[in-house]
């Protein structure tokens, strides 16, 4: 376990943010690759460049409700929408759908029950009210214990957070100094409205450049280039599906490698946390997801010299935004936005020796940076509540360690050796929705080999990353 890197901050409220629309896109302004001052402006100023976007069709598309009636039923999303894979402060939405009454129980019985699940001990803070995400989860990044969750197995469109699974699948295959010349065909097939880092055909990029484009600017052009290197989009999607299965991510169905809205493409807050936890075992993954800003190769100038331009991470808890400070101890991971998905976000942070993962999906509240504010509030609660709550479940390990997580032995309640009955329900929140605390039914399934699994499922992170250490020239 890493030593303390960041002192625990005093409890804080979310910063007030303006309600104006997200600034429009702009064309990256190149500079000489060897010029000084390569970093883009500071975290609370507007980024120096915005990714270009594929022109989007006019008019909003309807957000489709998901209906899931049984475990492991193939997911279906009806219709598709305009996708914006980086940031979004989304359009007005229709009435909020209800979560499915039956969801996967992988990781714990309570994780498949609709509503907020938490088991507070004496002196524990209450889960913050005002969290409007359809689905969220707070877990220990190393032990995998789930501290609290709401509808974590609800299958929802993931947007660009699915790029974490893409990285889990493809990143280990190519050395970062390998070079690749982009072909025109590599950039075909991207959806309208896709966020782009600015890759140009017939120019050469290193694998390191491409991954910075994926993580910092959520560039679908970088994803498609890497997929082309990997044998094409279809082959990459097939590998991502297998990787999700290997990670016991049973809520996920991959259709596109970049997270662009597509019929049938879904994941869950639980699965996104699995992808982040797996990716963070890789040093290169940790580097890319924790980089706040970098220089990206541009076109050639009239003298034949390669220019560059600054790019900034679209994860606003890492890079900051107007009215939103970077979260103390933040170390990645990935954000996303599409019309159907709304804002999605998975983030990891460290205070002292404690490392927490938070995932939020599709907040209902219509405010700028709402997903980031809600994630920050859940981090604040999680760091204060650590050691004062009983886990309501756990993030399971991959099949190579634990076998098939749909087996009976993985439907535990987060504790080795017993399925523990949950505590009584908490009082209702101010919005009238009661905290859900449903007990495990009588005759609970036996936990097979629980002690061995408990030892094996801890996945120490080799290092946590302070934001200031990941600025690149």
List the catalytic residues: 160, 163, 218
The distance from CA 238 to its chain's CA centroid, rounded to whole angstroms, is: 21
CA distance 139 to 26: 37
How is 173-213 classified by DSSP, letter by letter?
GS-TT-EEEPPGGGGTTPPTT-B-----TT-EEEHHHHHHH
Strand locations in 352-449, DSSP E?
354-363, 389-390, 393-394
Token pair in block for residue 429: 């929140």
- 3-class secondary structure, 224: helix
| DSSP 8-class letter at 295 | E
Largest interatomic CA distance in the chain: 76
Residues 6+ apart with CB under 8 A from 227: 166, 170, 233, 235, 236, 257
Q: What share of the chain is helix, strand, coil (3-state, %, to 5)?
A: 25, 20, 60
How is 39-63 classified by DSSP, letter by letter?
SPSPTTS--S----BPPPPSS--PP
The distance from CA 148 to its chain's CA centroid, rounded to whole angstroms, is: 17
Between the CA of residue 189 and those of 95, 192, 204, 221, 252, what are the distances in Å?
Answer: 32, 9, 20, 10, 22
Element at 372 (helix H, strand E): helix 370-385
Residues 6+ apart with CB under 8 A from 219: 51, 195, 196, 197, 198, 199, 213
- 3-class secondary structure, 249: coil
């Amino acid at each position: 376990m890493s030593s303390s890197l960041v002192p625990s901050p005093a409890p804080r409220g979310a910063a007030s943010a303006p309600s104006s629309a997200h600034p429009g896109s702009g064309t990256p302004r190149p500079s000489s690759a060897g010029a000084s001052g390569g970093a883009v402006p500071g975290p609370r100023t507007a980024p120096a460049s915005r990714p270009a976007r594929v022109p989007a069709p006019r008019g909003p598309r309807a957000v489709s409700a998901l209906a899931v009636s049984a475990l492991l039923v193939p997911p279906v999303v009806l219709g598709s929408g305009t996708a914006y894979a980086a940031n979004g402060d989304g359009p007005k939405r229709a009435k909020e759908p209800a979560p499915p009454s039956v969801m996967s129980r992988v990781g714990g019985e309570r994780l498949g029950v609709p509503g907020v699940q938490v088991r507070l001990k004496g002196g524990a803070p209450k889960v913050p009210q005002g969290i409007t995400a359809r689905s969220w989860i707070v877990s220990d990044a190393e032990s995998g214990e789930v501290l609290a969750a709401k509808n974590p197995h609800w299958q929802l469109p993931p947007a660009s957070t699915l790029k974490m699974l893409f990285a889990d699948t493809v990143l280990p295959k190519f050395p970062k100094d390998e070079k690749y010349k982009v072909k025109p065909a590599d950039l075909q097939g991207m959806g309208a409205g896709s966020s782009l880092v600015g890759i140009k055909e017939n120019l050469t990029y290193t694998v390191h450049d491409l991954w910075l484009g994926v993580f910092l600017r959520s560039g679908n052009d970088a994803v498609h280039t890497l997929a082309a290197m990997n044998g094409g989009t279809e082959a990459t999607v097939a590998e991502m599906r297998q990787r999700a299965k290997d990670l016991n991510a049973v809520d996920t169905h991959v259709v596109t490698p970049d997270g662009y809205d597509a019929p049938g493409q879904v994941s869950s807050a639980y699965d996104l946390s699995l992808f982040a936890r797996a990716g963070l075992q890789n040093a290169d993954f940790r580097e890319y997801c924790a980089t706040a800003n970098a220089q990206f190769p541009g076109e050639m100038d009239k003298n034949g010299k390669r220019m560059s331009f600054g790019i900034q991470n679209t994860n606003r808890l890492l890079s900051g935004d107007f009215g939103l400070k970077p979260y103390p101890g933040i170390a990645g991971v990935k954000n996303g936005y599409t019309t159907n998905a709304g804002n999605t976000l998975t983030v990891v942070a460290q205070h002292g020796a404690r490392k927490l993962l938070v995932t939020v999906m599709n907040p209902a509240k219509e405010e700028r940076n709402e997903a980031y504010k809600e994630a920050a509030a859940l981090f604040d609660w999680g760091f204060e509540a650590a050691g004062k709550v009983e886990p309501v479940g756990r993030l399971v390990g991959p099949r190579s360690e634990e076998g098939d997580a749909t087996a009976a032995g993985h439907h535990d309640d987060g504790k080795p050796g017993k399925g523990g009955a949950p505590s009584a329900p908490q009082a209702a929140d101010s919005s009238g929705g009661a905290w859900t605390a449903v007990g495990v039914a009588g005759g609970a399934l036996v936990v097979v080999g629980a002690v061995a699994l408990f030892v094996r499922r801890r996945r120490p992170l080799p290092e946590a990353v302070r934001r200031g250490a990941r600025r690149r020239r």
